[in-house]
Structure formats: structure tokens, C-alpha cells
């Protein structure tokens, strides 16, 4: 007898998935298409007919069928090989990117990440050593040089040790300021305080103590606190105040306050676990990507109140006259006390590069005019109070053709430039500011 074809469209034929047991009128189950078709036996003209097959799902039976289903030879091994190939390819790609980041082709990668090698090295050292390479938190002034860093004295400044008690007959000069005083890349011997000591010793024919109390990034606020808590204990004959540029940024931050609390915050740094520290220390690629994500590695950001878009904020801010109050007050406080205890205050304006290339974007639009305003405040204070002034800005301008080559950026100069500064300051000190004996 012939089996009837399924008249339902799209279901195809019912195949012989099992023997049909003839039990008149009884229902027979047949495996079909991964499900179960319910077939009914009808003794009509001695022929088997399929009546409206119904598909029903049985999870237990489906699982058994799948587990019993034959697999293609070698399919399991092929899958494992594919996984191994993918894993190896991924590792090779990572190694290739790491090599690009480390060696000759690194120039193709690092500019895209926006980081230079020096900053990258400092970041890796920062994470691995669990702290900034040069700077660390310090009470009352926010931060300072690490006490265990090379070339840093027990007071936390880039200078030789100087005893608090004075040596009889030896003039003593203290220099206050930021990175232009500390020396930054030029180091202790390339900073103007050290060069000033050399020049004065030669001119006076005897020993002179010139102490460097400059810290990169410090404003006049930090120097004022440091003067009253530290510097005055050394009883200097002359205190040179060389501040201007670092006090411009606080004037551009929102919600201005004269104590700079709107601009400064306690030292805050990202922390990493052992695995993260190892990856950042070992991989230039990982370090560059992480540094790109963490813009808060820079010194200013570690102690600065964060903004969503610093450049945009500075562009939108204005240098309002009332925001000069803090700078003026801080300089007045230092100089007035120096004079009150029998010393001499010497205000030093800050020379600036004549090259437009050193004033891109916000630096040119905001920092440059703010620097000029602060230099003018120093001139006005010196004139009004009778304090000594060495106008380095105008002296450099008068010799622009000769001295402009010494500028590394808008305010920092080379060692040769610092020597010129030291010579100009020495000339001013020789005009009755040092003790007669």
C-alpha cells in the first residue's frame, strides 16, 4: 500500500522515521524534523493517510536526540584548533602593537595617543613606585619635592643643605618662586639661585649663601606660607620674590577665591592593584592608553580642582581686575615682613619669550596678558612701598636680539638664560642691598 503525501504546504513528506505499529484507531508517534508528529491510523480503503500532523516539543527527548546525533569526524578537534589560532593571532597582534609603541615605529602610535616619551616614562614610574617621580604631598603648602629624591635637601628643596644658624660674616639670600626659580630641567646647578651664588662669591671675594626655595607650580600663595613657616627661620639678609606666571591660572578658574581654594585641592592620585601596576610598568602600549584615559597624572591636576574641559573654561574666562587681589596681597605680606624684621625685599619681574610660537591658544590669549599684569603689580608695589626691584622683563626686552634664543617656552630659559638672570640680579644687589660687612 502507498503512503499519502502530506498535503500541508511547507512541511514536505513524512519520512520513515520509525515502524508504524498497526493498532486500529490507535495513535502512533513518529520522529520528524526534530519534533514529534502525531499520526492517526485510519482503515480507509486499506491505505495509510496522514491527518493534519501536529508538531509538539519535548525538551527531554530533544536533548537525547541531540546527544545521539552523529558528529562529523574531526569536528571537535577543528573547533579547538580554531580557538588556538584565534588566541595566538590575538597575542601576536598585541605583541606587534607593543613593538610599534616601543621602537622605531613608535612615532606612528604615540602622537595619536597624545603622549610624549618623557611623560610616559614619568607615568610608568609614578604607578610602579606608587607616587610622583619628583613630588609628594606636603602639609600646609599642598605638595613639594620628595625628601628622598636625588639633589633634594632635608627641607624639601633642590639645593644643598644649609644650617638654620647663620655663619658670621656670610651674606644670606633666599629665593622664592616656582619652576623658574627651582630650575626644572636645568637642575640645581642650572637654576639662577645657584648661578647667583657663584657670581656673588666671585665678585665679593668670599662665601655667600643663596638658598633656593622654588617649587615647580607654586603660586605666590604657597611661597607666602612657606616663607612664614620656613624661610624666615633662616634670617636672610635679602629675600628675592620671583612670581608672576603661576598666579594667572587661579584667576581663570570658576568661583574665584583669594585663598585659591577654588583652584587647589588636597593631593589626589589614581591607584592601581598589583596586576594593573605590573601591566602599566611592563607595557608601553598599556601605559600610553591608561595615561590617555587619566589626564589627572600631571602635577597641576594632582593638586588642582578638576574641570570638565580646562581649555574651554580658560578660553571663556576673563582676567578681571578684582582677581589680582590675592597676588598683590601675597607679595605685600612677604615683602612687608622681610623689611619689618630688618631684611631687604627684592621683587623680580618675570621675563617672557618674544616668540608667538611660545603662546599657542589659551597661553597666548590669557597667560601672556596675565603675566604682564602681575609684572606691573610688582613695579607698582616697589615704587609705592620703596622696595627694591629688578625689572628682568624689561632688561630682557632691551636685549631681545641677544637673549631671545635662551627661551625654551613662554617663561623658562636655558642655563645660559638663567646665568643672565643671575648677573642682572647680582648687579641690583650690589646697589646697597647686601650688608656692608
Pick among 3.40.50.1110, 3.40.630.10, 3.40.1010.10, 1.25.40.10: CATH of 151-268+303-429: 3.40.50.1110
- What band does 111 get if pLDDT is binned at 50, 70 and 90? very low
Residue 281's pLDDT is 75
Percent of the chain with pLDDT over 70: 74
Q: Region 169-173: what's the mean pLDDT?
A: 96
- What band does 68 get if pLDDT is binned at 50, 70 and 90? low
With CA atoms as reference, report the closest residue to 399 among 381, 417, 382: 417
2 pLDDT above the threshold of 60: no
Instruction: Give the pLDDT confidence of 349-368 residue by residue, as tens digits.
Output: 999 999 989 988 877 888 99
Residue 79's pLDDT is 77
Domain coordinates of the chain in residue numbers?
Answer: 1-68, 80-113, 151-268+303-429
Q: SS in 3 state form for the chain?
A: CCECCCCCCCCCCCCCCCCCCCCCCCEEEEEECCEEEEEECCCECCEECCCCCCEECCHHHHHHHHHHCCCCCCHHHHHHHHHHHHHHHHHHHHHHHHHHHHCCCHHHHHHHHCCCHHHHHHHHHHHHCCCCCCEEEECCCEEEECCCCCCCCCCCCCCCCCCCCCCCCCCEEEEEECHHHHCHHHHHHHCHHHHHHHHHHHHHCCCCEEEEEECCCCCHHHHHHHHHHCHHHHCCCEEEEECCHHHCHHHHCCCCCCCCCCCECCCCCCCCCHHHHHHHHHCHHHHHHHHHHCHHHCHHHHCECCCCCHHHHHHHCCCCHHHHHHHHHHHHHHHHHHHHCCCEEEEECCCCCCCHHHCCHHHHHHHHHHHHHHHHHHHHHHHHHCCEEECHHHHHHHCHHHHHHHECCCCCECHHHHHHHHHHHHHHHCCCCCCCC
Angle (CA) 325-329-330 rounded to 5° is: 120
More confident residue, 258 or 45: 258
Which of 98-107, 120-129, 160-169, 272-281 is predicted most confidently? Answer: 160-169
Q: Region 168-189: what's the mean pLDDT?
A: 92
- What band does 395 get if pLDDT is binned at 50, 70 and 90? very high
Beta strand pairing status for 238-242 and 344-348?
parallel
Residue 114's pLDDT is 46
Beta strand pairing status for 35-40 and 172-177?
unpaired
319 pLDDT above the threshold of 50: yes
233 pLDDT above the threshold of 80: yes
Q: At what angle do helices 325-340 and 220-229 cross, to 10 degrees?
A: 30
- What band does 203 get if pLDDT is binned at 50, 70 and 90? very high
- What band does 269 get if pLDDT is binned at 50, 70 and 90? confident
127 pLDDT above the threshold of 80: no
Residue 76's pLDDT is 62
Percent of the chain with pLDDT over 90: 51
Q: For the chain, what is the mean pLDDT?
A: 80
Q: Region 215-238: what's the mean pLDDT?
A: 97
Amino acid at each position: 500500500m502507498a503512503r499519502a503525501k502530506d498535503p500541508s504546504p511547507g512541511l514536505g513528506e513524512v519520512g520513515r522515521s520509525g515502524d508504524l505499529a498497526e493498532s486500529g484507531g490507535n495513535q502512533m508517534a513518529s520522529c520528524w524534523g526534530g519534533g514529534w508528529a502525531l499520526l492517526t491510523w485510519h482503515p480507509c480503503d486499506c491505505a495509510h493517510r496522514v491527518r493534519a500532523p501536529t508538531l509538539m516539543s519535548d525538551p527531554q527527548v530533544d536533548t537525547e536526540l541531540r546527544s545521539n546525533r552523529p558528529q562529523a569526524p574531526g569536528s571537535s578537534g577543528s573547533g579547538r584548533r580554531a580557538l588556538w589560532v584565534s588566541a595566538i593571532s590575538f597575542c601576536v597582534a598585541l605583541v606587534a602593537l607593543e613593538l610599534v609603541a616601543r621602537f622605531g615605529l613608535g612615532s606612528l602610535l604615540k602622537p595619536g595617543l597624545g603622549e610624549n616619551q618623557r611623560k610616559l616614562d614619568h607615568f610608568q614610574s609614578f604607578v610602579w613606585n606608587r607616587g610622583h617621580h619628583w613630588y609628594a604631598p606636603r602639609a600646609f603648602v599642598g605638595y613639594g619635592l620628595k625628601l628622598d629624591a636625588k639633589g633634594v635637601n632635608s627641607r624639601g628643596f633642590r639645593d644643598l643643605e644649609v644650617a638654620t644658624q647663620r655663619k658670621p660674616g656670610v651674606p644670606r639670600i633666599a629665593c622664592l618662586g616656582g619652576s623658574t626659580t627651582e630650575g626644572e630641567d636645568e637642575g640645581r646647578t642650572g637654576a639662577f639661585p645657584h648661578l647667583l651664588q657663584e657670581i656673588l662669591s666671585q665678585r665679593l671675594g668670599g662665601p655667600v649663601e643663596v638658598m633656593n626655595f622654588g617649587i615647580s607650580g607654586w603660586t605666590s600663595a604657597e611661597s607666602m606660607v612657606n616663607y612664614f613657616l620656613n624661610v624666615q627661620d633662616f634670617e636672610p639678609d635679602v629675600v628675592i620674590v620671583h612670581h608672576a606666571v603661576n598666579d594667572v591660572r587661579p584667576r581663570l578658574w570658576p568661583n574665584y577665591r583669594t585663598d585659591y581654594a577654588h583652584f587647589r585641592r588636597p593631593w589626589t592620585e589614581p591607584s592601581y592593584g598589583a596586576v594593573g601596576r605590573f601591566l602599566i610598568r611592563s607595557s608601553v602600549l598599556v601605559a600610553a592608553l591608561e595615561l590617555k584615559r587619566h589626564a589627572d597624572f600631571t602635577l597641576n591636576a594632582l593638586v588642582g580642582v578638576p574641570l570638565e574641559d580646562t581649555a574651554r573654561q580658560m578660553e571663556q574666562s576673563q582676567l578681571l581686575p578684582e582677581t589680582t587681589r590675592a597676588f598683590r596681597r601675597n607679595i605685600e605680606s612677604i615683602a612687608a615682613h622681610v623689611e619689618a624684621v630688618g631684611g631687604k625685599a627684592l621683587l623680580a619681574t618675570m621675563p617672557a619669550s618674544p616668540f608667538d610660537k611660545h603662546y599657542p591658544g589659551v597661553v597666548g590669549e590669557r597667560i601672556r596678558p596675565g603675566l604682564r599684569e602681575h609684572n606691573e603689580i610688582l613695579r607698582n608695589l616697589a615704587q609705592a612701598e620703596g622696595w627694591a626691584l629688578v625689572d628682568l622683563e624689561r632688561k630682557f626686552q632691551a636685549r631681545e636680539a641677544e637673549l631671545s634664543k635662551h627661551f625654551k617656552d613662554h617663561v623658562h630659559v636655558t642655563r645660559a638664560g638663567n646665568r643672565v638672570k643671575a648677573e642682572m640680579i647680582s648687579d641690583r644687589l650690589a646697589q646697597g642691598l647686601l650688608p656692608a660687612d
